[in-house]
Structure 1
Amino acid sequence: MLALNPEVPKDPEKVDRIMKSATHIFAENGYLQAKTADIAKAASVSKGIVFRYFGDKGHLYLATVEYVIEHLTSIADFSVWRDANDLGDMIERAVRYKIELQLQYPDEFTLSVRSFGELGSLPEEIQGEIAELWRNQTTMGMLELEQPVIDRMPIRDDVDRGTLQRLLSAVADQVFGDAQQFMQQHPKAKIEDFEPIIRQIQDEYRILEHGFLK
């Protein structure tokens, strides 16, 4: 989203300070209550610089969510997922690891969770971009992390890998929908509050792995 105003020169140090202060203030107050003036003050820049770099508060929020996703992705240890024995084990490992990360990066996780629940209150011009951003992150991430686990599993010879991936994609889409609905109802939820959804995912994977016939 830094490409929003590509013709405007941007000081990398100022951008970094703005992103860090925006992450904290959006996480603490939510989109509607967060004030651009407070973000600028915390970043030691003028309010004009914030608008010059990002255009408006909505696009600043979008850029901040993108920043958070990139940051969490850069520090995540994906072997926690990829080294799992099966899909159920992978989900359990992932939840525990995310709780650990949440304790280390509370603002980043709070904002990532809030960005689900706040979709309806965001400006219309960025609602679709935020939703698509998280949908792509969820779907692509799950498939990439699941694939090494699937490759180690004794899949039947008559199972088409493309069909299996489409089934897993459908589950990923459902995860996104369930998480979004949950966050709309519980905007201050923490990662561990997703445990019922995680158990549901585990049940769905168990059925995919073992079938549903006696």
Structure 2
Amino acid sequence: MLEMNPEIPKDPEKIDRIMASATKIFANNGYLQAKTADIAKDADVSKGIVFRYFGDKGHLYLATVTYVIDLLTKRADFTVWTDAKDLGDMIERAVRYKIELQLQYPDEFKLSVQSFGEMNVLPEDIRPQISELWQKQTTTSIAMLEEPVLDRMKLRPGVDKTILKKLLGSIGNSVFVEAEAFMKKHPDAKIEDFEPIINEIQAEYEILEHGFATK
């Protein structure tokens, strides 16, 4: 986890509480509306401790986003993706599993996505680092998750794998936006409630993989 003033001794329990509180408050209020005083109060530490550990609100946000991405990466079981036999199987597994994780870690998922969308309101000195976090995460995800499946598949001659990845990414992004909107309307939803979304994404990947026109 990224911290300002690394030379200053820090209480690990206080850091854990600050990260948990910052995740919740940044996720539910956004960067601009979140108050450092509220984070400190919720974490049961002084506001001075927060600034002493992290420097300022911007770097606290950066540390929190870094913490959230690390946590989700460590908790994820990547074999859900890499063991898939084809694209349809991969996306079904991915959507089901990602929804399960999102239900389990709602604030963490919300903040991880929100951090990219809020880029233009963040302090200029942390924007490049947030952007780098996302770029690294995206590159790593593609290499770890999609590549093993695509490498096992026989692609039609002439298919540009880079363009194919863009298409996969576009479909994936649209379904996760749809799933997020569904969760806002149905906060108590269970994984089985997402079957219509899962069926739709399966159909989209089926068309992508096998085409839509007859010869």
Q: If the TM-score is normalised by the length of the shorter chain, which range does it land in?
A: 0.7 to 0.9
Aligned to 1:86: 86
Show CA shifts across 1:73-92 (max 9, x none): 11111111112121232123
Partner of 2:146: 146
Contact in 2 for aligned 1:65/1:111 (Cα 8 Å) = yes
In the aligned structure 1, how far is the partner of 2:145 from the partner of 2:99?
Answer: 18
CA apart distance, 1:212: 9.6
* Cα distance change of structure 1 residues 62 and 175 upon mapping to structure 2, 3 Å threshold: farther
Match of 1:38 in 2: 38
Label 1:173 to 1:97 Cα distance change in 2 as closer, same or farther (>3 A): closer
Q: Distance in 1 between matches of 2:70 and 2:211?
A: 37
Query: Structure 1 residues 189 and 58 mapped into 2: Cα distance closer, same or farther (>3 Å)?
Result: farther
SS of aligned partner of 2:125: helix
Q: Percent identity?
A: 64
Judged with a 3 Å threshold, the aligned counterparts in structure 2 of structure 1 residues 39 and 118 are, in CA distance, closer, same or farther, namely same
Q: Secondary structure at the match of 1:10?
A: coil
Describe the shift of the 1:155–1:173 C-alpha distance in structure 2 as closer, same or farther (beyond 3 A): closer
Other-structure match for 1:77: 77
Residue 51 (structure 2) aligns with: 51
Amino acid at match of 1:143: A
Say whether the 8 Å CA contact 1:139–1:173 is kept in structure 2: no
Note the C-alpha offset of 1:170.
5.0
Q: Which amino acid aligns with 2:81?
A: W
* Distance 1:189-1:139 versus aligned 2 partners, 3 A rule: farther
TM-score (norm 1): 0.76
Change (3 A) 1:174 1:99: closer
Contact 2:3 2:63 in 1 (8 A): no
CA RMSD of aligned residues (A): 3.4
CA deviations 1:127-166 (Å, max 9, x no partner) are 222122112212221221112212322357x789xx73x4
TM-score (norm 2): 0.76
Take 1:111 and 1:49, find their aligned partners in 2: how far apart are those partners?
Answer: 23
Q: How does 1:27-176 map to 2 (within 5 A)?
A: 27-155=27-155, 164=161, 166-167=162-163
Partner of 1:12: 12
Aligned residues of 2:27 and 2:107 also touching (Cα < 8 A)? yes
Distance 2:107 2:40 in 1: 17
Distance 2:130 2:121 in 1: 12
Give CA-to-partner distance per residue, 1:5-34, whole Å, 9 cap, x none. 122111111111110110011111111111
CA contact (8 A) 1:135 1:173 kept: no
What secondary structure does 1:125 align onto? Answer: coil
Code of the residue aligned with 1:87 in structure 2: it is L
Q: Which runs of 5+ in 2 are unaligned?
A: 186-196
Count the aligned residue pairs.
200
| Kept after mapping to 2: 8 A contact 1:81/1:90 | yes
